[in-house]
Structure 1
């Protein structure tokens, strides 16, 4: 996973993979059939594991709100969503998830389509339902759009792989993104503001 996170989904040649794993190219083709099939196994396992954590967190949030007789809080829902991208493991898991989603947006393949449909679509519908419960005055159709805008915000921010990235280039020493928690808070605050914004007439 670390190689894919560092070099991108399409940026890891077979020789690098085999060297890192201590096997030869024939072993990859024997066990997986192709490097794309190997990538699918990696992303299938990662997506299942991470989205299970997010879904369980969301279930706890909605259950607690139900017990208290209140609406779920938008902020904690968004925090649960962005956790893989900004929390522990973000440098590998978060980068991989962001790259997978960006690749599917820009150049979808049968592999990305299968992974997204299997692991991300069911999770997305649960988050949209929870967000709609939290802010019921926003029409459900609009909440789906806002969910997609949330995903786009997170993915585009995390996949700026320039050296230095554009935020650092624009802000210079004024940037506060060296502090991971500050970055996470800013991301959550921005998304929550968009989710809660009144719908235009």
Structure 2
């Protein structure tokens, strides 16, 4: 997006496009929305996409930035509440509460749209990062990640801080890939012959929490070189 200053009218048009993209990307996927469908939903002309953003890729990046800021602010606020309660009770913070604060934007009852879209955008960034998405990660994800790692380390001090960073990154990968896989074919249902269903958000939430907490709580073992 151009770095020039926008007038209030231009800023309103940009926000209309971002708001429309949030809705359509969540419903049809990042690559499933034609330009004309987006401009029609936003109530702007086709030229507005190029003028304000330069193309659909930049629209996706703007959506990534807005979603990241909003969702991570919610996550860190919940984390701060958890830490404040633990401090008031003079106890270690609860690991399950910390993990839920991280996971819930992806899997709670209101996450079937924005949470899944954020997961798709994170995967897209990992596969083809751009300067813009790198900036979003550094601004909106890195500070949040450090807060969660510190909280998990406070909850389980027996796990070295360096190892907790590994466990946090594995937590992120597990959650993001699981949630983004909900779009498209239901491989989990096929593999399990109907015993498990990737479309069941509550079951996914429960399985993720159980799996992730087990990994985070696992005793740290130092392996010696052969």
Query: In the comparison of the two structures, how many residue pairs are matched?
Result: 201
1:48 Cα deviation from its structure 2 partner? 0.9
Structure 1 contact 128–147 (Cα < 8 Å) conserved: yes
2:48 paired residue among 27, 36, 40:
27
Structure 2 contact 25–33 (Cα < 8 Å) conserved: yes
* Distance change in 2, residues 1:199/1:54 (3 Å): same
Instruction: Give the Cα separation in 1 of the matches to 2:183 and 2:190.
Output: 9
Instruction: Give the Cα separation in 2 of the matches to 1:127 and 1:55.
Output: 8
2:177 maps to 156
1:143 Cα deviation from its structure 2 partner? 0.4
Question: Which of 1 and 2 has greater Rg?
Answer: 2
Superposition pairs of residues 164-179 of structure 1, within 5 angstroms: 164-175=185-196, 177=198, 179=200
Instruction: Give the Cα separation in 1 of the matches to 2:37 and 2:140.
Output: 28
The structure that is helix-richer by fraction is: 1
With normalisation by structure 2, the TM-score equals 0.82
Deviations 1:16-66, CA, capped at 9 Å, x for gaps: 212322322112223333323322222212111111110000000001001
Instruction: Give the Cα separation in 1 of the matches to 2:29 and 2:151.
Output: 32
Q: Is 1:6 the equivalent of 2:27?
A: yes
With normalisation by structure 1, the TM-score equals 0.92
1:186 paired residue among 207, 217, 226:
207
Q: After the TM superposition, which of the residue ranges 148-157 and 18-27 deviates more from structure 2?
A: 18-27
Structure 1 contact 135–196 (Cα < 8 Å) conserved: yes
Runs of 4+ in 1 over 4 A off after TM superposition: 176-179
Instruction: Give the Cα separation in 1 of the matches to 2:98 and 2:154.
Output: 11
1:121 paired residue among 142, 164, 168:
142
* Distance change in 2, residues 1:104/1:177 (3 Å): closer
Deviations 1:162-183, CA, capped at 9 Å, x for gaps: 6432111111221155543232
